Amino acid sequence: MNAITAPSETTPLQRSERQAHIVKALEAHLPSHALLWNAEDTTPYECDGLTAYRQRPLVVALPENAAQVQAVLRTCHQLNVPVVARGAGTGLSGGALPHALGVTLSLAKFNKILKIDKKARTATVQCGVRNLAISEAVAGLGLYYAPDPSSQIACTIGGNVAENSGGVHCLKYGLTMHNIVKVKGFTMEGDEITLGSDALDTPGLDLLGIAIGSEGMLAVTTEVTVKLIPKPQLARCIMASFDDMRKAGDAVASLIGAGIIPAGLEMMDKPMTAAVEDFVHAGYDLNAEAILLCESDGTPEEVEEDIGRMSDVLRSCGATAIAVSRDEAERLRFWSGRKNAFPASGRISPDYMCMDSTIPRKRLADLLLAIQDMEKKYNLRCANVFHAGDGNLHPLILFDANDPDQLHRCELFGAEILETSVAMGGTVTGEHGVGIEKLNSMCVQFSAEENEQMFGIKRAFDPQGLLNPGKVIPTLHRCAEYGKMLVRGGQLKFADIPRF
């Protein structure tokens, strides 16, 4: 098979020739219904949850078994064609944004739970299984899978592994990386790999640790073995109101400082509370500047003690109102607003861009107040809902993507939030990944040498750089140009990705 050279600019004719070439090569391995290339078929794949950036792939492949995944990768490797793996497409940083001259490899058909091992308390599932489907499948055994992204009804475990996803309960039970024992998959060259093992540790380098959170750049996951934990006997949630953002931020640090590890510790500011209350009627205090949701789970005795201690700390930090869920229905109602915060934002703005930085907990109020100043500077609204216990903020900048000037201001606003987070001792991403969204901000976080070391790892897995290229790690050129070539008008300047 002859390799296709990807020209930096392609004419529509060159594009269609390239497309025909790829389809023909893949048809040797996949049934025709598993390949899409017409515009109306590939358009649904043109973006992920970062909807401001869109790009149709040349071809979408929907393999049904591991051998077909391997064949797609081998074929694309031989043809020098970029591949972007895709789970449910709920990612918020553009990680699954297609390559204009490449193949989007959808893992949607990998949706089977393969094995539930009650004794080992693990489940082995295909990568396209939805996060929540795992807990649903083992609920009868009194078990569940702890990491719970708010998108858990839709997002896949393969996507969770790629992003090292977090969720409300990760403060106590750990992120995806703490709850996975093994992944199987294929490298870009089509070599089968198994990282981790059925035991809790493996000899040699921690390649599982490197793969988790690698945003689909090192290998394609097809199978994941997750840890399961017993469902707690009881969970109760405190909803606390604060009339001042700083007091709420200090309460978060004080709770952790008091040696309490809540099962969940989330914060919402006033604009977000108003948006969600209008949507789900969770009973939130609309006068509060900030609301904290603070959960305890365990035996009834443990929960009672925790709730008492947490209430004391919250009161001493100036909470103006405290409500404790009296039953499961009320607990779920308290959480319903938090869980629906992103969709609620869609009701008050045509578009939103969700930032995802992590800062030391004690700086929460500082960053939230700085964001209020940025709202004035960029003349855009911002609503905040986030994993306060982890110091992981999610400012949702509200804008209209159809207005290029608003999009540009939104991008600058987001970049300033990330830069301020780094200056406060934090990071540019907590759980949503870098994708394309935070590529430029990586230049602020890491030196050229550090980025080069990350490229070194990428090259060890994918020497030709064909798997999800142009994302996550900025090139030296990009960082040198940083500040001069910020993204504009929805057209990302992919220094490294050939466009047409």
Tokens representing residue 428 in the block: 């540019």
Q: What does residue 246 show for φ and ψ, rounded to 5 degrees? A: -65, -40
Piece in contact with ligand FAD (CB under 6 A), picked from 2-10, 149-157, 288-296, 397-405: 149-157
Which of residues 57 and 166 has its CB atom nearest to ligand FAD in the complex? 166
- Report the Cα–Cα distance between both ends of the chain, in Å, rounded: 24
Task: Tell me the residue length of the chain.
Answer: 500
Q: How far is the CB of 214 from ligand FAD (least distance, A)?
A: 8
- Check binding of 158 to ligand FAD (CB under 6 A): yes
Piece in contact with ligand FAD (CB under 6 A), picked from 152-160, 302-310, 328-336, 439-447: 152-160
- Confirm if 492 and 52 have CB atoms less than 8 A apart: no
Question: Measured on CA atoms in the order 87, 92, 94, 95, is the torsion positive or negative?
Answer: negative
- Check binding of 25 to ligand FAD (CB under 6 A): no
Q: How many residues in the shown chain lie near ligand FAD by CB under 6 A? A: 36
- Check binding of 342 to ligand FAD (CB under 6 A): yes
Amino acid at site 273: T
Q: How far apart are CA 464 and CA 189, in angstroms?
A: 9
b/e map of 196-227 (b: 16 or more CB within 10 Å)? Answer: beeeeebeeeebbeebbbbbbbbbbbbbbbbb
Give the one residue of 160, 179, 187, 441 binding ligand FAD; rule: CB under 6 A. Answer: 160
Give the one residue of 42, 165, 440, 445 binding ligand FAD; rule: CB under 6 A. Answer: 165
Give the one residue of 30, 107, 238, 492 binding ligand FAD; rule: CB under 6 A. Answer: 107
- Check binding of 215 to ligand FAD (CB under 6 A): yes
Q: How far is the CB of 341 from ligand FAD (least distance, A)?
A: 8
Piece in contact with ligand FAD (CB under 6 A), picked from 2-10, 78-86, 188-196, 262-270: 78-86
Q: How far is the CB of 215 from ligand FAD (least distance, A)?
A: 4
Which of residues 159 and 498 has its CB atom nearest to ligand FAD in the complex? 159
Give the one residue of 58, 317, 468, 479 binding ligand FAD; rule: CB under 6 A. Answer: 468
| Binding residues among 277-336 for ligand FAD as defined by CB under 6 A | none
Give the one residue of 216, 262, 264, 498 binding ligand FAD; rule: CB under 6 A. Answer: 216
Q: How far apart are CA 127 and CA 159, in angstroms?
A: 8
Give the one residue of 63, 149, 395, 474 binding ligand FAD; rule: CB under 6 A. Answer: 149
Q: How far is CA 330 from CA 59, 147, 233, 238, 283, in A?
A: 47, 22, 16, 10, 10
- Check binding of 48 to ligand FAD (CB under 6 A): yes
Residues 6+ apart with CB under 8 A from 368: 245, 249, 269, 384, 393
Could you tell me the strand order of the sheet in which 103-106 lies?
35-36, 59-61, 103-106, 83-86
Which of residues 432 and 478 has its CB atom nearest to ligand FAD in the complex? 432
Helix (H, G, I), strand (E, B) or coil at 322: strand
- Check binding of 213 to ligand FAD (CB under 6 A): no
**Of residues 422, 366, 359, the one with CA closest to residue 394:** 359
Report the interface residues with ligand FAD, using CB under 6 A. Answer: 48-49, 84-92, 95-96, 107, 127, 149-151, 155-156, 158-160, 162-163, 165-167, 215-216, 220-221, 342, 431-432, 468
